[in-house]
Structure formats: C-alpha cells, structure tokens
Amino acid sequence: MSFPDMEFAGPEPAPIDMLEQLFDANGWASERLGDEEIITTIKGGWTTYQLRALWRDEDRVLQIIARGDLSVADHQRAAIYEVIGLINEQLWMGHFELWSADGAVLFRHATLLADDDAADGGDLSAAQAEILTDAAVEEFERYYPVFQLVLLAGQAPAEALASALLETAGEA
C-alpha cells in the first residue's frame, strides 16, 4: 500500500476523510456510512479482506476492523478461541476475536488521537492512516494460515500456530 505525499491547505482532513483519500489513492472502492464510518475491500494473498474504520469523535478513537472470509462453525469455536488466545499473546497492536453473532474471525485495533486543541492538530496523519491499514491487513495475512489449519485440517491450535509460522532459511 502506498500513499502519495499530499499537502493539505489548513488542517489535515478528519480521520475518515484521510482514510477515504488513502483508499482512493490505492484504487480501492470505498463506501462512506456518514461522517464516522468507511468500508473498503483489499485483496490480500490469502483472501479479500473487508476493512472497516469507525471514528468516535467524542472519545477521539479510530477503530479499524479487518474481516476475512473465515467462518467458524459452533463445534469449532473452542479450538478457534484457543488459537486466538495464542495469537493475541504475540501481538503488539490489536487483537483477533471471534464474532459471536455469525462466527466471523476479525482483527481489530483502536487508536486514540489527540484532542483537536493539541499542538500537533490531533488528527490522523497520512502516515498513520497508511500504517493502521497496513497493520490490520498484514496481521490477518500473517495468521490466516493458522486459522485455516485449525478449521480445515483439524490441527490442534498450538501445532497450527507453530507450523504456520515456521520461518524458512536459505533458498531451495
């Protein structure tokens, strides 16, 4: 993902506006749901992700949610909860969760932005917008095979995590 250098006359755009500009710059079709929400889709290596951003102005919190095509049946939920716990122990930013309503696996993180009155303007910068969207998709891409091994191959959560994250050295 790349975001061209943009110069803004006056203050930087509101967080959802900044994300809309990022999505446009990358050629991702997006849909605005008012001033506080935007949705786009991003093609990854494993699947196409729905990326949703929600802005809560009164709390100055921007939440990013990535959703893949993973759906968990009731009988698989215990194993997925276990693998989510193992994965979340390794994350510095954000977390995975299992949406109870429909069994979807999500990656979610929130960013607290400074007050409007802050010296730095307090809004989302272009660089932050790019980092936040990259992080959501990259973390899901990294752990997608782990979920697949548990859901489709029936591997134990710890085994799936170890085998999916095996680092190879050298060239074949």
pLDDT in tens, 63-74: 999 999 999 999
Can you tell me the distance from the alpha carbon of 133 to that of 50, in angstroms, rounded to the nearest whole number? Answer: 11
The answer to whether the beta carbons of residues 136 and 109 sit under 8 Å apart is yes
CATH topology of domain 15-73+92-141: Yope Regulator; Chain: A, (3.30.1460)
pTM for the model stands at 0.83
Please give the structure tokens belonging to residue 75: 């009988």
The answer to whether the beta carbons of residues 34 and 53 sit under 8 Å apart is no
Task: Categorize the per-residue pLDDT at 10 as very low, low, confident or very high, splitting at 50, 70 and 90.
Answer: very low
What residue segments make up the domains of the chain, in order of their start?
15-73+92-141
Can you tell me the distance from the alpha carbon of 162 to that of 116, in angstroms, rounded to the nearest whole number? Answer: 44
DSSP 8-state class, residue 70: E
The whole-number pLDDT of residue 14 equals: 82
pLDDT above 50: residue 120:
no
DSSP 8-state class, residue 79: H
Burial call 29-41: b when 16+ CB within 10 Å, e when fewer? ebeeeeeeebbbe
